């Protein structure tokens, strides 16, 4: 690839997530947004105009065939990630897929195989690990201040945040699962990232559907405006899941997630329990936002609380820029979607454990 040629970028999906990818490409040097695909004609036109994507398609296959893309982002319902990514990789296009990577580990594995076979980058976008507090906590963990972390708890609990009751999000075929698949995977990713990628040996999980089947617990406002929103009785996934994971390094991770639950406010959290220190990260949501990062240890026998500087949050844009750096790197072997696949395999194990009512080996 010539150093001077701008990378030609396309995005499939014109919902909230698709626009975040457009913002990311728009912020990048050496990239030209050339094409956009999506099924809502008005939104396709609006985003196409806003981000200068002159080629617009209702049919994503036509976009891959005609737009001469170098890179493509996939921000569509989850069950479309694999077919779209595999087609793009087979057409010689590097792929950045939204999370979750696919509706199950088998489809995620097919995506990895296609990236390897075509020597292309496959990246899965986990933006929440790029939050400022998470970055600060990661620096603290990596410094060794907390010692050996043997226990971690992570969760994303929503009070009323089912994303589009009756949309593709709440149907098993298109989403592959409920909050464990949708937002639990962000917290699994965040925890694994903070813990330096331990393997997961076993999982014992449960799932519940207490709100969705009654047509309550739906998100209001912009977040509820999902494509395909329809019959509220079509709630086929869980709305709360919890999992106990034994890690390969002897540690334990407890993960809980809900789209709807009777709690005072939304809560995203990670608690780390180390041999030499501990940390609590909390990001609160509706009805009031707040953030908390507490790190405590002992210095020369004195209890000590650390107040780290918080770097800027990177979000989608930072993830898009990282993806482009991987594309431009000489060797793509470390960038075939391996981490996304690992997350999918653990999420599969959670659902298997829940349905079989027992602990399963990963
Ligand atoms: N990382 C994050 O923070 C984050 C946040 C929200 C959503 N997501 C992920 O992004 C993806 C999309 O979520 P969303 O909230 O934007 O959903 P959405 O329903 O708002 O948008 C989905 C888009 O996919 C398009 N689409 C569906 N079928 C298509 C087809 N056959 N051809 C072309 N386009 C098609 C629709 O036209 C729509 O524009 C999901 O995988 C979701 O998990 C990630």
| Phi–psi pair at 5, nearest 5 degrees | -70, 130
pLDDT score for 290: 82
Separation between Cα atoms, residue 162 and residue 107, nearest integer Å: 25
Q: Determine the 3-state secondary structure of 241 from DSSP.
A: strand
What's the average model confidence in pLDDT over 248-271? Answer: 96
The number of angstroms, rounded, from the C-alpha of 238 to the middle of its chain's C-alpha atoms is 18
Read off the pLDDT of residues 276-322 as tens digits, 9 standing for 90 and up. 999 999 998 766 678 899 999 999 999 999 999 999 999 999 999 99
Name residues contacting ligand 1 (CB within 6 A).
12-18, 37-40, 60, 75-78, 80, 98-99, 125, 127, 182, 226-227
Structure tokens at 102: 């696919």
Distance from C-alpha of 264 to C-alpha of 290, rounded to nearest angstrom? 13
Q: What whole-number percentage of the chain has pLDDT above 90?
A: 90
Pick the closest to residue 31 from 328, 354, 260, 343 (CA basis).
328
Question: What is the atom index within ligand 1 of the atom nearest the CA of 316?
Answer: 1
Per DSSP, helices labelled H in 167-266 are 172-175, 179, 185-194
Tell me the sheet residues that pair with 255.
Answer: 154, 243
CB 273 within 8 A of CB 150: yes
Q: What is the residue with the minimal CA distance to atom 41 of ligand 1?
A: 78
Model pLDDT, residue 233 = 64
What one-character-per-residue DSSP string does 7-69 give? EEEEEE--SHHHHHHHHHHHHSTTEEEEEEE-S-HHHHHHHHHHHT--EEES-HHHHHHHS--
Distance (Å, rounded) from C-alpha 97 to C-alpha 72? 8
99 closest CA partner among 339, 326, 349, 318: 339
Question: Residue 257 pLDDT > 80, yes or no?
Answer: yes
If one residue of 63, 77, 319 were mutated to test the ligand 1 pocket, choosing by the most ligand atoms within 8 A of its CB, it would be 77
What is the rounded CA–CA span in Å between residue 113 and residue 119? Answer: 10
For residue 17, the CA-to-ligand 1 centroid distance in Å is: 6
Q: What whole-number distance in Å separates Cα of residue 37 and Cα of residue 58?
A: 6
Angle subtended by helix axes 185-194 and 338-356, to nearest 10: 120
Q: Which atom of ligand 1 sits closest to the CA of residue 57?
A: 33
Q: Which atom of ligand 1 sits closest to the CA of residue 19?
A: 16
* pLDDT at residue number 71: 98
Tokens at residue 234, please? Answer: 């079509």
* Amino acid 223: pLDDT: 46
Nearest C-alpha neighbor of 346 from the set 153, 201, 195, 173: 201
Using the atom order of ligand 1, give the atom closest to the CA of residue 168: 19
pLDDT at position 52 is 97
Ligand 1 test: best mutation among 75, 134, 161, 182, most atoms within 8 Å of CB? Answer: 75
The pair of three-digit structure tokens given for residue 78, joined into one six-digit string: 């989850």
Summarize the confidence of residues 91-103 as an average pLDDT.
Answer: 98
Average pLDDT, the chain: 94
pLDDT digits (tens, 9 = 90+) for 209-240: 999 999 899 886 544 566 666 666 679 999 99
Distance 252 CA to ligand 1 centre (A): 33
pLDDT of amino acid 287: 66
30-65 pLDDT, tens digit each:
999 999 999 999 999 999 999 999 999 999 999 999
pLDDT confidence of residue 221: 53
How remote is the CA of residue 97 from the centroid of ligand 1, in Å?
Answer: 10
3-state secondary structure 297-355: EEECCEEEEECCCCCCCCHHHHHHHHHHHHHHCCCCCCCECHHHHHHHHHHHHHHHHHH
Between strands 302-306 and 360-361, the pairing is unpaired
Mutate to test the pocket of ligand 1, among 11, 13, 23, 226 (most ligand atoms within 8 A of CB): 13
- Whole-angstrom distance, CA of residue 258 vs CA of residue 260: 5
139 torsion bin: left (phi>0), alpha (psi -120 to 50), beta (else): alpha
> Nearest Cα to 111, choosing from 344, 315, 324?
344
Q: Whose CA is nearest to atom 28 of ligand 1?
A: 76
> What is the per-residue pLDDT across 148-187, written as a single tens digit (0 to 9) for each?
999 999 999 999 999 988 899 999 999 999 999 999 999 9
- Domains along the chain? 7-127+316-336 (3.40.50.720), 129-313 (3.30.360.10)
Beta carbons within 10 angstroms of residue 351's beta carbon = 23
Q: How remote is the CA of residue 38 from the centroid of ligand 1, in Å?
A: 9
């Amino acid at each position: 690839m010539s150093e001077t040629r701008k990378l030609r970028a396309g995005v499939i999906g014109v919902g909230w997530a698709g626009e975040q990818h457009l913002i990311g490409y728009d912020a990048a040097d050496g990239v030209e947004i050339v094409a956009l695909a999506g099924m809502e004609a008005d939104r396709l036109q609006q985003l196409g105009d806003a981000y200068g994507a002159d080629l617009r398609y209702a049919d994503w296959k036509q976009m891959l065939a005609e737009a001469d893309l170098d890179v493509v982002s996939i921000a569509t319902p989850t069950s479309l990630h694999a077919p779209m990514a595999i087609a793009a990789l087979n057409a010689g296009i590097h792929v950045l897929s939204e999370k979750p990577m696919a509706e199950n580990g088998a489809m995620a594995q097919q995506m990895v195989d296609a990236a390897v076979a075509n020597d292309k980058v496959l990246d899965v976008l986990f933006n929440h690990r790029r939050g400022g507090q998470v970055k600060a906590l990661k620096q603290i963990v990596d410094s060794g201040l907390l010692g050996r972390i043997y226990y971690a708890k992570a969760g994303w609990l929503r009070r009323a945040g089912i994303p589009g009751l009756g949309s593709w999000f709440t149907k098993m075929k298109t989403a592959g699962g409920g909050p464990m698949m949708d937002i639990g995977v962000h917290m699994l990713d965040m925890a694994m990232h903070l813990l330096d990628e331990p393997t997961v040996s076993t999982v014992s999980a449960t799932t519940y559907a207490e709100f969705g089947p009654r047509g309550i617990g739906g998100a209001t406002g912009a977040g509820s405006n999902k494509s395909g929103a329809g019959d509220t009785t079509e709630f086929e996934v869980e709305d709360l899941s919890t999992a106990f994971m034994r890690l390969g390094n002897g540690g334990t991770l407890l993960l809980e997630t809900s789209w709807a639950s009777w709690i005072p406010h939304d809560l995203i959290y990670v608690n780390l329990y180390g041999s030499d220190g501990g940390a609590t990260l909390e990001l609160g949501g509706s009805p009031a936002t707040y953030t908390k990062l507490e790190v405590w240890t002992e210095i020369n026998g004195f209890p000590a609380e650390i107040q780290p500087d918080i770097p800027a949050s990177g979000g989608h844009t930072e993830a898009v820029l990282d993806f482009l750096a991987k594309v431009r790197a000489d060797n793509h072997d470390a960038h075939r979607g391996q981490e996304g696949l690992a997350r999918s395999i653990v999420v599969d194990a959670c659902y298997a454990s829940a349905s079989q009512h027992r602990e399963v080996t990963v």
